[in-house]
């Protein structure tokens, strides 16, 4: 059993809630993306989530959040999903076997994935071009 001094309760509780929230959000995003019920989720909960995710209310909130992430504050949408640009860069370093230059990073995170190699590059939004 773990114990700690009571003066650390607030820090520990806050850290736990922040990390647990991020983990649960990540898991739910994966469920939403794959549309498959994971073994840890009860089937009626999965069914309820699918119904909720198809409501106009959820779609409007999702669209609003998407716009906020790419707001006029200077940020832009990227194709990395929940991954940070730093994580994507580290993955590229392993894949390319060298440190990617900024242009490679930017292109990797702002060009939509191609259905076919012959397709031209499609930027995720106009500001990225």
pLDDT digits (tens, 9 = 90+) for 20-77: 999 999 999 999 999 999 999 999 999 999 999 999 999 999 888 877 766 555 555 6
How many angstroms separate the CA atoms of 89 and 87, rounded? 5
Interval 71-101: pLDDT, tens? 555 555 667 777 777 888 888 888 888 888 8
**Who wins on pLDDT, 112 or 87?**
87
Confidence (pLDDT) at 109: 75
The candidate with the shortest Cα–Cα distance to 108, out of 98, 100, 99, is 100
Q: What mean pLDDT is reported for the chain?
A: 82
Confidence (pLDDT) at 69: 67
Rounded to 5 degrees, φ, ψ at 100 are -65, 145
User: How does DSSP assign 67-88, residue by residue?
Assistant: HHHT-TTS----TTTTS-HHHH
């Amino acid at each position: 059993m773990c114990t700690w001094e009571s003066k650390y309760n607030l820090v520990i509780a806050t850290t736990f809630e922040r990390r647990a929230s991020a983990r649960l959000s990540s898991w739910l995003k994966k469920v939403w993306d794959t549309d498959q019920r994971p073994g840890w989720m009860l089937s009626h909960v999965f069914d309820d989530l699918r119904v909720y995710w198809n409501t106009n209310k959820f779609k409007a909130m999702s669209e609003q959040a998407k716009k906020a992430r790419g707001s006029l504050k200077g940020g832009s949408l990227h194709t990395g999903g929940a991954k940070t640009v730093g994580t994507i860069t580290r993955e590229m370093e392993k894949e390319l076997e060298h440190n990617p230059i900024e242009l490679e990073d930017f292109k990797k995170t702002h060009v939509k994935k191609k259905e076919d190699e012959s397709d031209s590059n499609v930027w995720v939004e106009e500001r990225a071009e």
